């Protein structure tokens, strides 16, 4: 499920506030698959159907998101790759994931300032089943800032930096962690964009590794209301998935 986060962040950064000056509702539905060992001896496979609802004005963006999950593994990690102090014979677990609420404020408008600046606050509510290893059962809190700069209405490089306060699951002490990403979007035509990002996060425990992964994506506007995003992710560390891919279909009302 963590694979969905980078592309949602990137797409939010590169969408100019001018596109939603009057306030717009949008809904996103997709499919996500990831596979990796996450530092253990066994593989965990995760299928996710992410759903999010978003409202955006000229300076504010509010998002509520969750996902239906199907996880095949021994339950030693969450769908986000966080280690758990549980283990079972390899089995399949299904259910709803955590619910997340994000509020983003556009502090600097890239149309009038030399750079765009967004400040975001996120709460991940620990609503997913701990018995099924679909979550930690605890809340996480993240504060993040994103800088982005459109260049000639085609290139939009960006960099983000954030800090996450992790809730501790049973019998594990998580660390609060720094996280960041860097990437770019390139608008090929008014309807077609492509780009990518590199994402990093500190290790959440003393024995786990840091997250290190890259994403490539393609975004195609089907019409004035609908957009399709395709993406693929590759991991470079034992705390990251070996690979993942998926799509997100967005509809703006």
- Does 229 have pLDDT greater than 60? yes
Q: Where are the domains of the chain?
A: 4-252
- Does 52 have pLDDT greater than 70? yes
- Does 80 have pLDDT greater than 50? yes
- Pairing outcome for strands 155-165 and 243-252: unpaired
Rounded to the nearest angstrom, the gap between the alpha carbon of residue 54 and the centroid of all alpha carbons in its chain is: 14
Provide the CATH number for the domain formed by 4-252 in this structure: 2.40.160.40
Question: Tell me: the pLDDT tens digits for 122-149?
Answer: 999 999 999 899 999 999 999 999 999 9
Cα 8 to Cα 5: distance, rounded to the nearest angstrom: 5
- Does 236 have pLDDT greater than 60? yes
Judged by phi (left if over 0) then psi (alpha if -120 to 50, else beta), residue 207 lies in alpha
pLDDT score, position 112? 87
User: Percent of the chain having pLDDT more than 90?
Assistant: 70
pTM for this prediction: 0.91
Cβ(41)–Cβ(146) below 8 Å: no
Helix (H) / strand (E) element for 9: namely: helix 4-14
- Pairing outcome for strands 211-221 and 226-235: antiparallel
Task: Give the count of beta carbons closer than 10 Å to the beta carbon of residue 101.
Answer: 13
Work out the mean pLDDT of the chain and round it to a whole number: 90
Q: If DSSP codes are grouped into helix, strand and coil, which group holds residue 19?
A: helix
Burial of 167 (0-12, 13-18, 19+ CB in 10 A): middle
The DSSP code for 83 is: B
Name 159's bridge partners.
Answer: 147, 182
pLDDT score, position 20? 45
């Amino acid at each position: 499920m963590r694979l969905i986060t980078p592309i949602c962040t990137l797409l939010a950064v590169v969408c100019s506030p001018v596109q939603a000056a009057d306030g717009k509702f949008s809904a996103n539905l997709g499919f996500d698959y990831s596979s990796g060992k996450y530092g253990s001896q066994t593989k965990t496979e995760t299928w996710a159907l992410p759903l999010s609802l978003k409202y955006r004005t000229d300076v504010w963006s509010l998002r509520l998101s969750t996902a239906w999950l199907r996880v095949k593994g021994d339950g030693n990690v969450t769908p986000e790759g966080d280690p758990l102090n549980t283990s079972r014979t390899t089995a399949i677990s299904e259910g709803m994931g955590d619910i997340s609420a994000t509020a983003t404020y556009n502090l600097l408008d890239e149309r009038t300032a030399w750079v765009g600046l967004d400040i975001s606050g996120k709460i991940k509510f620990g609503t997913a089943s701990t018995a099924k290893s679909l979550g930690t059962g605890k809340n996480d809190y993240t504060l993040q800032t994103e800088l982005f700069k459109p260049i000639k209405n085609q290139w939009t490089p960006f960099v983000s930096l954030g800090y996450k306060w992790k809730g501790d699951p049973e019998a594990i002490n998580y660390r609060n962690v720094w996280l960041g990403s860097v990437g770019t979007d390139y608008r090929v035509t008014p309807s077609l964009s492509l780009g990518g990002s590199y994402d990093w996060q500190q290790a959440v425990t003393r024995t786990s590794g840091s997250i290190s992964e890259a994403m490539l994506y393609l975004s195609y506007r089907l019409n004035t209301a609908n957009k399709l995003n395709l993406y693929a992710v590759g991991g470079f560390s034992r705390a990251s998935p070996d690979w993942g891919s998926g799509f997100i279909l967005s509809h703006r009302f």
